[in-house]
């Protein structure tokens, strides 16, 4: 039930984000979702793509600094309170969220949220027990 | 007023005779009491009796910062430790401190030479000397302090930091002469302007040193603090502040050459250059007891002038150092060698040992940034983890060098791999 996420280190310098995205475009990689964390010093670009293994290899070959980590994806109702109930479940179990980002698609009815937590397995069990719909890799990449 | 007319206004012949006599004595003492010097002289077949006077100075081997490091901590001390009354230290090239020892007589000499500097700046026993150099292992604070005490001035050991309190002391205690780094003088000027109390400040002169500064900075300090600003030169290996200082003519700094014999050499060949040539400044401390260094290479680039001075002093003048013969940086008065940063980075597995040091001066304070490449295998998707690496590097630099640095993580393979060290330093301060 875990999703592979590509993270890329971005130095604080003009054009770096564009360089990365262009490299992916040239390699025919489709971006499902992205989030950019920035500090005054550097940024971290996080991506969900249709082919994470190939995307990571492609970026590494162009000397980008890449790491692949496992995150969770949940499908939530695209309506007020949809995310609140999911987060309440995690919070109730004492699981803290490192970061999260959400996206919607034209095809699916629900909204998707990518969650990075400290312990994926415990979070998966907790969310399942709470009746939250987890989205698998195949399903997500194929969106 | 001249503090020590006898020595500061000697004729050239008298000075040469005095220096020669002192040099002969010094070489003898050093040869007998300092094994590393004896070994160096024996290696080239030089005996103390071969040194007849200053004309033979060039025959003696040089001393470098490496010699101090190799003989850490007391190897170059020429007297038993029971004779040592004070110990100071400054940062060395590779993290090991450079230790300097003083006997009671050396401390007295130190007071004498800084007293000369204070008198050159118009000081007297009626002054209230405000010392804002750091007191401690750094020689700035105590060196200035001894000078103030020697001329009989009321000396305030304010030390560094707490700028608001500094301004209050300056106002309430009636400080008349300020001694600190030039950048701190500007910082104080700013604090005084903020407090709007310049009319309550009674400073008339300032003696500034321990870091490079420009004529523009001098004018700015003079205008904003309403004082006359004097330059002072020194380094702990020789004695500390007071090796040379400016008189009212301000065309160079009079060297206390009856104690510290200067030479200018070509730093590549070691050859002595004639007066007026630009080269590396070298000193021989002929009267110091505890650590009489012979031909110590300062790595400072300067020139000597024997031209007569309107102040009446006859001692040789050196111009403000025009740069360094090595890659040492002086940041907020602290000596920083790039190799020290490298040593720190080597202990941090998450980064590659490639770095760029960027020094700038913003709001009159030196800003120091270390740009370093993160290693791909340690890259994390979490901001927190990277921030932790950054703050760990800053912490290690602070603990090893005593200086706070901004750390900037850059992408792997983006820092130029160069053989030359100079490419690793970007100094935007334009101080020379």
Of the residues B381, B386, B390, the best mutation for testing chain A's interface (the one with the most A CB atoms within 10 Å of its CB) is B381
The domain limits of chain A are 2-69, 71-141
Place of tokens 């995310």: A83
What is the per-residue DSSP string for chain A?
-EEEEEEEEEESSTTHHHHHHHHHHHTTPPEEEEEEEE-SSEEEEEEEES-HHHHHHHHHHTT--EEEEEEEEEEE-SSTTHHHHHHHHHHHTTPPEEEEEEEE-SS-SSEEEEEEES-HHHHHHHHHHTT-EE--HHHHHT-
**C-alpha pair distances (Å), B370 with each of A71, B126, B170, B216, B249:** 33, 46, 35, 27, 40
Nearest CA to B218 among B313, B121, B80, B83? B121
Inter-chain CB proximity A65 and B410 less than 8 Å: no
Among A46, A67, A116, the residue with its CB nearest the CB of B379 is A67
At residue B91, the pLDDT reads: 66
pLDDT tens digits for chain B (432 residues)? 999 999 999 999 999 999 999 999 999 999 999 999 999 999 999 999 999 999 999 999 999 999 999 999 999 999 999 999 999 998 655 557 889 999 999 999 999 999 999 999 999 999 999 999 999 999 999 999 999 999 999 999 999 989 999 999 999 999 999 999 998 898 899 999 999 999 999 999 999 998 888 888 899 999 999 999 999 999 999 999 999 999 999 999 999 999 999 999 999 999 999 999 999 999 999 999 999 999 999 999 999 999 999 999 999 999 999 888 888 888 888 888 887 888 888 889 998 878 899 999 887 788 999 999 988 889 988 899 999 999 999 999 998 888 899 999 998 888 876 554 445 888 888 777
**C-alpha pair distances (Å), B122 with each of A67, B206, B247, B370:** 65, 10, 8, 42
Kindly state whether B164 is in contact with chain A, defined as any CB-CB distance less than 8 angstroms.
no
Nearest chain A Cα to B390, which residue?
A41
Beta bridge partners of B128: B154
Q: Could you report the per-residue pLDDT of B136-171, keeping only the tens digit for each?
A: 999 999 999 999 999 999 999 999 989 999 999 999
Inter-chain CB proximity B382 and A98 less than 8 Å: yes
Among A11, A16, A69, the residue with its CB nearest the CB of B381 is A69
Residues of chain B contacting residue A60, judged by C-beta atoms under 8 Å apart: 376
Residues of A with CB under 8 A from a CB of B: 5, 7, 9-12, 16, 37, 39, 41-42, 44, 46, 60, 63-67, 69, 98-99, 116
Among A5, A39, A60, the residue with its CB nearest the CB of B381 is A5
Residues of chain B contacting residue A57, judged by C-beta atoms under 8 Å apart: none
Inter-chain CB proximity B414 and A11 less than 8 Å: yes
pLDDT tens digits for chain A (143 residues)? 799 999 999 988 889 999 999 999 999 999 999 999 988 889 999 999 999 999 999 999 999 999 999 999 999 998 899 899 999 999 999 999 999 999 988 777 889 999 999 899 999 999 999 999 999 988 888 77
Among A39, A65, A98, the residue with its CB nearest the CB of B376 is A65
The domain limits of chain B are 1-325, 331-427
CATH number of B1-325: 3.40.50.12780
For residue B73, whether the previous peptide bond is cis, meaning omega lies within 30 degrees of 0, is yes
At residue A113, the pLDDT reads: 95
CB A143 within 8 Å of CB A111: no
Inter-chain CB proximity B411 and A39 less than 8 Å: no
Mean model confidence pLDDT for chain B: 93
Inter-chain CB proximity B381 and A63 less than 8 Å: no
CB B121 within 8 Å of CB B227: no
Q: Distance between CA B9 and CA A82 in Å, rounded? A: 90
At residue A13, the pLDDT reads: 84
Q: Distance between CA A29 and CA B162 in Å, rounded? A: 57
At residue B425, the pLDDT reads: 84
Say which CATH class A2-69 falls into. alpha beta
Inter-chain CB proximity B411 and A64 less than 8 Å: yes
Nearest CA-CA distance, residue B425 and chain A, Å: 19
Kindly state whether B367 is in contact with chain A, defined as any CB-CB distance less than 8 angstroms.
no
Residues of chain A contacting residue B412, judged by C-beta atoms under 8 Å apart: 63, 65
Nearest CA to B324 among B332, B312, B336? B336
For domain B331-427, is the CATH number 3.40.50.2020? no
ipTM: 0.83
At residue B364, the pLDDT reads: 78
Inter-chain CB proximity B383 and A66 less than 8 Å: no
Nearest CA-CA distance, residue A11 and chain B, Å: 5
At residue B420, the pLDDT reads: 44
Q: Distance between CA B31 and CA B52 in Å, rounded? A: 15
Three-state DSSP string of chain B? CCCCHHHHCCCHHHHHHHHHHHHHHHHHHHHHHCHHHHHHHHHCCCCHHHCCCHHHHHHCCCECHHHHHHCCCCCCCCCCHHHEEEEEEEECCCCCEEEEEEEHHHHHHHHHHHHHHHHHCCCCCCCEEEECCCCCCCHHHHHHHHHHHHCCCEEECCCCCCHHHHHHHHHHHCCCEEEECHHHHHHHHHHHHHHCCHHHCCCCEEEECCCCCCHHHHHHHHHHHCCEEEEEEEECCCCEEEEEEECCCCCCEEECCCCEEEEEECCCCCCECCCCCCEEEEEEECCCCCCCCCCEEEEEEECEECCCCCCCCCCCEECCCCCECCCCEEECCEEECHHHHHHHHHCCCCEEEEEEEEEEEECCEEEEEEEEEECHHHCCCCHHHHHHHHHHHHHHHHHHHCCCCEEEEECCCCCCCCCCCHHHEEECCCCC
Q: Chain A neighbours among B 390-409 (CB < 8 Å)?
A: 390, 408-409
Per CATH, the architecture of A71-141 is what?
A: 2-Layer Sandwich (3.30)
At residue B423, the pLDDT reads: 55
Q: Could you report the per-residue pLDDT of B105-129, keeping only the tens digit for each?
A: 999 999 999 999 999 999 999 999 9
Q: Could you report the per-residue pLDDT of B269-318, keeping only the tens digit for each?
A: 999 999 999 999 999 999 999 999 999 999 999 999 999 999 999 999 99
Kindly state whether B94 is in contact with chain A, defined as any CB-CB distance less than 8 angstroms.
no
């Amino acid at each position: 039930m875990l999703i592979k996420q590509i993270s890329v280190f971005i130095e604080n310098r003009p054009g770096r984000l564009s360089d990365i995205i262009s490299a992916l475009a040239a390699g025919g990689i489709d971006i499902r979702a992205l989030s950019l964390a920035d500090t005054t010093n550097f940024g971290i670009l996080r991506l969900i793509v249709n082919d994470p293994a190939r995307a990571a290899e492609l970026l590494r070959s162009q000397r980008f600094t890449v790491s692949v980590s496992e995150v969770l994806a949940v499908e939530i109702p695209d309506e007020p309170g949809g995310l609140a109930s999911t987060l309440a479940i995690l919070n109730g179990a004492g699981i803290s969220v490192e970061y999260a980002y959400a996206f919607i698609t034209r095809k699916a009815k629900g909204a998707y949220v990518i969650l990075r937590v400290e312990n994926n397995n415990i979070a998966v069990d907790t969310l399942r027990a709470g009746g939250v719909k987890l989205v698998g890799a195949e399903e997500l990449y194929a969106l | 007023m001249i503090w020590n007319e006898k020595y500061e206004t000697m004729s050239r012949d008298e000075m040469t005779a005095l220096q020669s006599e002192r040099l002969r004595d010094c070489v003898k003492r050093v040869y007998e009491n300092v094994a590393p010097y004896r070994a160096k002289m024996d290696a080239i077949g030089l005996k103390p009796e071969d040194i007849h006077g200053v004309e033979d100075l060039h025959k003696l081997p040089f001393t470098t910062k490496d010699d101090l490091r190799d003989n850490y901590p007391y190897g170059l001390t020429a007297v038993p430790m029971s004779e040592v009354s004070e110990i100071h230290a400054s940062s060395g090239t590779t993290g090991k401190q450079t230790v300097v020892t003083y006997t009671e007589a050396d401390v007295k000499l130190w007071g004498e030479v800084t007293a000369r500097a204070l008198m050159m700046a118009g000081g007297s026993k009626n002054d209230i000397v405000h010392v804002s150099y750091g007191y401690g292992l750094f020689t700035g604070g105590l060196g200035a302090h001894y000078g103030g005490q020697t001329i009989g001035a009321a000396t305030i050991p304010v030390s560094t930091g707490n700028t608001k309190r500094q301004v209050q002391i300056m106002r309430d205690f009636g400080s008349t002469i300020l001694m600190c780094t030039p950048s701190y003088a500007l910082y104080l000027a700013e604090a005084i302007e903020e407090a709007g109390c310049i009319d309550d400040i009674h400073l008339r002169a300032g003696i500034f040193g321990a870091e490079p500064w420009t004529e523009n900075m001098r004018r700015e300090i003079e205008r904003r603090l309403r004082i006359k600003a004097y330059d002072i030169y020194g380094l702990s290996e020789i004695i500390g502040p007071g090796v040379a200082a400016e008189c009212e003519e301000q065309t160079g700094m009079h060297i206390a050459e009856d104690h510290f014999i200067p030479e200018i050499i070509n730093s590549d060949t070691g050859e002595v250059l004639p007066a007026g040539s630009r080269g590396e400044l070298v000193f021989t401390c002929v009267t110091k007891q505890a650590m009489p260094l012979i031909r110590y290479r300062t790595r400072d680039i300067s020139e000597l002038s024997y031209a007569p001075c309107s102040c009446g002093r006859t001692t040789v003048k050196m111009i403000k150092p025009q740069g360094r013969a090595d890659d040492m940086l002086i940041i907020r008065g602290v000596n920083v060698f790039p190799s020290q940063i490298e040593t720190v980075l080597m202990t941090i597995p998450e980064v590659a040992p490639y770095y760029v040091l960027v020094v700038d001066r913003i709001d009159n304070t030196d800003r120091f940034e270390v740009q370093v490449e993160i290693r791909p295998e340690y890259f994390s998707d979490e901001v927190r983890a990277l921030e932790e690496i950054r703050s760990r590097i800053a912490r290690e630099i602070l603990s090893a060098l005593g200086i706070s640095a901004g750390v900037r993580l850059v992408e792997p393979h983006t820092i130029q791999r160069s053989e030359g060290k100079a490419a690793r330093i970007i100094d935007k301060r334009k101080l020379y």
